Structure 1
């Protein structure tokens, strides 16, 4: 679609939370303007569960979150941004709400007669709403109490239906529209749709016009008032009708910049019928990181990892999800299939899905591939699968088709991102949201082809390198990419280190060593928290609910044993400089290539964060502002531990995007010539040339740039980063920094 008038030149993501409010964000507006950002991109700002650190657990979509400063704080921030000439992009959550919330409590009190009964996706045919909150005690009567018009179970409070008072708490409980059950029964017996496996996030039926209006009216009011200029839509794959929802959203926000958190597999495109500007950029992340990885290293890393079969690991992980975590969902969908073994066939189709979901009748090829995979592997289910296929093609918007499509994304996300990526640890730099760990790197020609396609198809899509959901930050991935140039050396080191301090689970052991060198220096607490989460997500030796206490103790003790190992520290020193080169290269490409680049909070300096909550730590904006002022005064920083060189690249590129948008159109690959040509990634846009170094270790080992040149388009060129005139010889052009940002004429 044609980019709207509120398309920002770039965005800067801020994670708002009770410790960083609207007022705190307002105090950073001047810094963001000086940095060069085009818009502030905020995490969800509607009222969320008390103390929420992320805001995706909305409890009241009709008001700005009081813990952030409420409506007055929101309006003050919007006014300050407008005054500074910056946009305001807000993250919205259409798929679910946190429970309890006022609407949910009314449903619990009045059941199907509640005015909000249709707001949530509840299977009323199965009787009372199942609430899996009880602990292991079998004496429910002793733990339940009645206080006024509420049934109380420890910290949980549930409303009583009118006229149900009297008798023992157990008798009162039996009269309610809900049934309190043991928490373990949630995965198998839940009768309301949830967000993935989180029973405290109940799905909302935004496909109903009245629900859409109730949940979106306030945000759309902000858009109509010009206070919000863009919307980022969370998890559209969970919706009954993503296309219909997005058309309704576009109708309510016709001029807003609109991007969706849609994970695209390689070769997959957004549905053409969606009236959006693009995705939140995980596809660009995969491509930009990939071009800095040397594919030659794949066999050595496979050997180091024990040569795991990625499809087999992924299938096993997805089956774990369908058979243990999302059993209730499989049963609910299977009950709609008029053929034997409905739930089993549905589960197999989910496991076989090549992408997150199809959008029938669009994207039918993905659905067809899943059908053929199951029939080939499970001929005993062929008849039932054919029945399901016929029903979906006959009625692609019916309940069966809708629920299968809604749920496939849950299986893929939980099975692949949240399980496989912690089991298949061959090369962790590739284990990223939207990533393909079995594809070891990306060639330069393919990178150019994909960038040009982005410019042609969705020039206003968001691009990113780090988000609140990434498994590790962009700078950790950049350093890990160096390992692909030192495959033998790293493999030897891992085998040597493992002999001294190995973890007794091979996949986690390999992930741990990669994490240690990628995030060094790191505290023992941060490393332990990460590895504990990784082990539980992998679900091999321990899980969130079935603990192997001895194994978890081993993980807890590991960081203190390895953090003072001089051999590890020496290896990190070996790869740190090339990692910085990769960081600057991938950042400059992201900031200048097709799309609207997002900078995640704090990553304008080196940031070696891991998966959340590690990547939600407080950011020192005072330090960044001080460093920025020196750069604005003309300082050309060294490439060192301070990260000031990255700040220079971010500042210069963002400022150029904002002040000279006419330069950022079109896309033309440029090709270096000479003995080191393969180490340059370069492209031209309208009056702009970008050059980055790839595979820096191999480049140095082969003698550097030598006589390699980059023929430049006609005219004189100046490097915006250094102010120096540009020359074709890469040994001169990239003598100060491993990247260059060239404009015609004088900078």
Structure 2
């Protein structure tokens, strides 16, 4: 297995296809990148902007350039000395446009007789397809079918139509009225609101248009992976990123099969909670790096700010009991959007009545300490959840015991499998997509894989985590920004500055909120932090972000239950704030004050990630300052022409262009390319002197990375030094030092020290 030296992630889409990716190959090579790393490139739903909605896994996406374009991209990458890493989606396929997915179309046409019926995780037939509108004013859910919009169905040849939706008509069933034809099919078109409680096929989270695939079946694995494995066998692809393994029936078995068949570098999008380890039986290089993100970003956050931020949140009416908010949000998910999954699991529990089984399952989902237990390997996580439910709900003790006994007696059985598949969905939807938008005390901590209730990461914890990664998964991916992060690395770096100015920030927020606060406390506190973190930001961008945040939080509005008046107020807020002649100068002044300190944190984060253990990934565009918020904001087009031009600037100053960050990225990536021997081993390097708390440093193999922490209260290095032997040269500036930080941290708040002679020319 050959791991790439580093990766550069690009979001493929119509408008940025294979030819466009080929155009930036020379830029990436000059930057020092080891491999282009793409979002999924198999055929998705027509017009897809992300590729995770695959409809045909047997061919390259024609909207990106098809097979011819893919092969041309590979040839261009090879000529530039670059590898290719591809994102794959084994858990689900898109069924939003049935005719676009030949397997799903066949299932809808032939039902259980379809050769593809076993490809999808379908509980029963007819398959419920939730697309119909209904009378939203009806209060009697028992009469939902009576109000459904079936009178809008029409027959058009061998297809049944509902507005723009088309569905197949089974052979010999097309006579009579549209309603009569509909009743004869292997599917039922139902009110879209019924999906959360009644859906009878597994899906990706709560997205009904992404149907779960039974990739644990060897035939299904072969059918869905054949094309990608051909690319690997041909040498076109050197690595695979596996999306959402926790949704699979047997993630470990899948990992072993994929490793055996592919024989290439494989990383999994597995979100590890603090202290959790990747299952040792998985033959993969590691995760996609959210664990590294938490460690690297956390070491720049001052833990002393926790009390002031908690006080501010409480004074504004924002909840500060993280465990309580998280449990409430997870229960909300089990009772609403994922109720059908809970119902399906409860029906499998023996010797317990359905309602008590449903309650026990829901409580277990809320109690999981990790996204998923991998039975029997991760039994301690399972037992922790069971114990918590016993303690919290003593009236359910007998039901908990019955479920626990059944699960542990058959850890590969259907009940255990369904619970494990669903726990990750509940944790993701309840924590990432709800709690993170409600628990807004300090949103720099609200990140995938992070711990919002842990205010910062100590030096000891940081170094221990890096040493552990080097020892156990030295070829795991590391990252700071992805298409799934809630905000970019540079937004988080700037927000970390607020932890050094907690009282000043609190005074400003109270003053600003009194003048133009949003009418919901948690969103209000999120909004002011987001405005400062992403400054300068347009009213339209901020409005789109806050609209999504409000719906994800599900406090005053949601994606399915709208409060139109509240949503209008949220959308109007950015324009009102940015147009306020009193507020705008204050906000601008505050943002300008914290921006240089944010740059210092950004450079420090990036250096530690790129130089540390693992295979570092650079998310598209983030080699310059990137102040993006959650998707789709972080999928905006990247100006590569500007980056090409800035790449030619030698040793640029730290300024608004972001060229200094580009300089750090190219210096480390080129060194990884030219001197891979330097990037082995790991040893913390201690600073000595009055400013020692402001230093985080480590040595690899004759290479030392040094970064500045807590820049606001930093007053100078004085005699602070690293305990070094001999002379070292900073690869960023050419400056020489024997350990004194004042000698080397003059131009930049970071340094990359190499033992040996002064470099000759170059950048």
> What is the alpha-carbon distance in structure 2 between the residues aligned to residue 382 and residue 129 of structure 1?
35
Q: Cα–Cα, structure 1 residues 258 and 139, in superposed 2: closer, same or farther, change >3 Å?
A: closer
Query: Which of residues 620, 632, 635 in structure 2 aligns to 1:613?
Result: 632
2:113 corresponding residue in structure 1:
113
Query: Which of residues 118, 126, 129 in structure 1 aligns to 2:127?
Result: 129
Q: Is 2:568 the partner of 1:553? A: yes
Which stretch of structure 1 is more off in the superposition, 721-730 or 112-121?
A: 721-730
The alpha carbon displacement at 1:732 in A equals: 1.9
> What is the alpha-carbon distance in structure 1 between the residues aligned to residue 432 and residue 150 of structure 2?
41
Q: Is the 8 A contact 2:148 2:191 kept in 1?
A: no
Q: Is the 8 A contact 1:503 1:555 kept in 2?
A: yes
For 1:135-174, list aligned pairs within 5 A.
Answer: 135-136=133-134, 138=147, 140-174=149-183
For 1:285-296, list aligned pairs within 5 A.
Answer: 285-296=293-304
Q: Cα–Cα, structure 1 residues 574 and 141, in superposed 2: closer, same or farther, change >3 Å?
A: closer
> What is the alpha-carbon distance in structure 2 between the residues aligned to residue 67 and residue 723 of structure 1?
47
Q: Is 2:240 the partner of 1:235? A: no
> What is the alpha-carbon distance in structure 2 between the residues aligned to residue 637 and residue 65 of structure 1?
40
For 1:33-44, list aligned pairs within 5 A.
Answer: 33-44=29-40
Query: Which of residues 20, 26, 30 in structure 2 aligns to 1:24?
Result: 20
2:341 corresponding residue in structure 1:
329
What is the CA deviation profile of residues 113-145 of structure 1, one whole-angstrom value per residue up to 9, with x for unaligned ones?
Answer: 000000000012xx4111110012537453100
2:59 corresponding residue in structure 1:
63
The alpha carbon displacement at 1:343 in A equals: 1.4
1:601 corresponding residue in structure 2:
620
TM-score (norm 2): 0.95
Q: Is 2:323 the partner of 1:311? A: yes
> What is the alpha-carbon distance in structure 1 between the residues aligned to residue 171 and residue 195 of structure 2?
27
> What is the alpha-carbon distance in structure 1 between the residues aligned to residue 730 and residue 638 of structure 2?
30
Secondary structure (helix, strand or coil) at the match of 1:25 reads helix
The alpha carbon displacement at 1:727 in A equals: 3.5
1:573 corresponding residue in structure 2:
592
What is the CA deviation profile of residues 413-440 of structure 1, one whole-angstrom value per residue up to 9, with x for unaligned ones?
Answer: 0000000000000000000001110000
Matched length? 732
The alpha carbon displacement at 1:179 in A equals: 0.6
2:83 corresponding residue in structure 1:
87
Secondary structure (helix, strand or coil) at the match of 2:117 reads coil
Secondary structure (helix, strand or coil) at the match of 1:325 reads coil
Query: Which of residues 441, 459, 468 in structure 2 aligns to 1:444?
Result: 459
1:279 corresponding residue in structure 2:
287
2:729 corresponding residue in structure 1:
718
The alpha carbon displacement at 1:74 in A equals: 0.5
1:367 corresponding residue in structure 2:
382
1:12 corresponding residue in structure 2:
8
What is the CA deviation profile of residues 513-557 of structure 1, one whole-angstrom value per residue up to 9, with x for unaligned ones?
Answer: 000000000000000000000000000001111111111111111
Q: Is the 8 A contact 1:140 1:170 kept in 2?
A: no
1:584 corresponding residue in structure 2:
603
For 1:397-546, list aligned pairs within 5 A.
Answer: 397-546=412-561
> What is the alpha-carbon distance in structure 1 between the residues aligned to residue 707 and residue 293 of structure 2?
16
What is the CA deviation profile of residues 43-99 of structure 1, one whole-angstrom value per residue up to 9, with x for unaligned ones?
Answer: 000000111110000000000000000000101111111222211000000000000
The alpha carbon displacement at 1:715 in A equals: 3.2
Q: Is 2:739 the partner of 1:728? A: yes
> What is the alpha-carbon distance in structure 1 between the residues aligned to residue 424 and residue 556 of structure 2?
26
1:211 corresponding residue in structure 2:
220
The alpha carbon displacement at 1:385 in A equals: 1.1
Q: Is the 8 A contact 2:256 2:283 kept in 1?
A: yes
The alpha carbon displacement at 1:573 in A equals: 0.9
> What is the alpha-carbon distance in structure 1 between the residues aligned to residue 676 and residue 578 of structure 2?
46
> What is the alpha-carbon distance in structure 2 between the residues aligned to residue 735 and residue 266 of structure 1?
35
Q: Is the 8 A contact 2:484 2:630 kept in 1?
A: yes
Secondary structure (helix, strand or coil) at the match of 1:696 reads coil
Q: Is the 8 A contact 2:133 2:149 kept in 1?
A: no
> What is the alpha-carbon distance in structure 2 between the residues aligned to residue 141 and residue 689 of structure 1?
68
Q: Cα–Cα, structure 1 residues 183 and 355, in superposed 2: closer, same or farther, change >3 Å?
A: same
Q: Is the 8 A contact 1:710 1:728 kept in 2?
A: yes
Q: Is the 8 A contact 2:132 2:150 kept in 1?
A: no
> What is the alpha-carbon distance in structure 1 between the residues aligned to residue 81 and residue 402 of structure 2?
57
> What is the alpha-carbon distance in structure 1 between the residues aligned to residue 443 and residue 343 of structure 2?
35
> What is the alpha-carbon distance in structure 1 between the residues aligned to residue 402 and residue 448 of structure 2?
33
Which stretch of structure 1 is more off in the superposition, 400-409 or 388-397?
A: 388-397
1:258 corresponding residue in structure 2:
266
Query: Which of residues 211, 219, 229 in structure 2 aligns to 1:220?
Result: 229
> What is the alpha-carbon distance in structure 1 between the residues aligned to residue 155 and residue 575 of structure 2?
49
1:643 corresponding residue in structure 2:
658
2:211 corresponding residue in structure 1:
202
> What is the alpha-carbon distance in structure 2 between the residues aligned to residue 446 and residue 733 of structure 1?
26
1:378 corresponding residue in structure 2:
393
Q: Cα–Cα, structure 1 residues 73 and 174, in superposed 2: closer, same or farther, change >3 Å?
A: same
What is the CA deviation profile of residues 583-610 of structure 1, one whole-angstrom value per residue up to 9, with x for unaligned ones?
Answer: 0000000000001000000000000000
Q: Is the 8 A contact 1:33 1:86 kept in 2?
A: yes
> What is the alpha-carbon distance in structure 1 between the residues aligned to residue 165 and residue 439 of structure 2?
39
Q: Is the 8 A contact 2:134 2:148 kept in 1?
A: no
> What is the alpha-carbon distance in structure 1 between the residues aligned to residue 576 and residue 742 of structure 2?
43
> What is the alpha-carbon distance in structure 2 between the residues aligned to residue 608 and residue 245 of structure 1?
37
> What is the alpha-carbon distance in structure 2 between the residues aligned to residue 297 and residue 243 of structure 1?
41
Q: Is the 8 A contact 2:232 2:238 kept in 1?
A: yes
What is the CA deviation profile of residues 284-316 of structure 1, one whole-angstrom value per residue up to 9, with x for unaligned ones?
Answer: 000000000000000110111115210000010
Q: Cα–Cα, structure 1 residues 623 and 174, in superposed 2: closer, same or farther, change >3 Å?
A: same
Q: Is the 8 A contact 1:727 1:733 kept in 2?
A: no
What is the CA deviation profile of residues 362-420 of structure 1, one whole-angstrom value per residue up to 9, with x for unaligned ones?
Answer: 01110000000001111111111111111111110000000000000000000000000
Secondary structure (helix, strand or coil) at the match of 2:59 reads strand
Query: Which of residues 46, 50, 54 in structure 2 aligns to 1:50?
Result: 46
Root-mean-square deviation (CA, aligned residues, Å) is 0.9
> What is the alpha-carbon distance in structure 1 between the residues aligned to residue 115 and residue 494 of structure 2?
54
Secondary structure (helix, strand or coil) at the match of 2:221 reads helix
Secondary structure (helix, strand or coil) at the match of 1:689 reads strand
Q: Cα–Cα, structure 1 residues 354 and 139, in superposed 2: closer, same or farther, change >3 Å?
A: closer
Q: Is the 8 A contact 2:736 2:743 kept in 1?
A: no
The alpha carbon displacement at 1:705 in A equals: 1.4
> What is the alpha-carbon distance in structure 2 between the residues aligned to residue 493 and residue 730 of structure 1?
35
Secondary structure (helix, strand or coil) at the match of 2:190 reads strand
2:143 corresponding residue in structure 1:
none
For 1:330-345, list aligned pairs within 5 A.
Answer: 330-338=342-350, 339-340=352-353, 341-345=356-360
Q: Which runs of 5+ in 1 are unaligned?
A: none
Q: Is the 8 A contact 1:479 1:580 kept in 2?
A: yes
Secondary structure (helix, strand or coil) at the match of 2:154 reads strand
Q: Cα–Cα, structure 1 residues 141 and 451, in superposed 2: closer, same or farther, change >3 Å?
A: closer
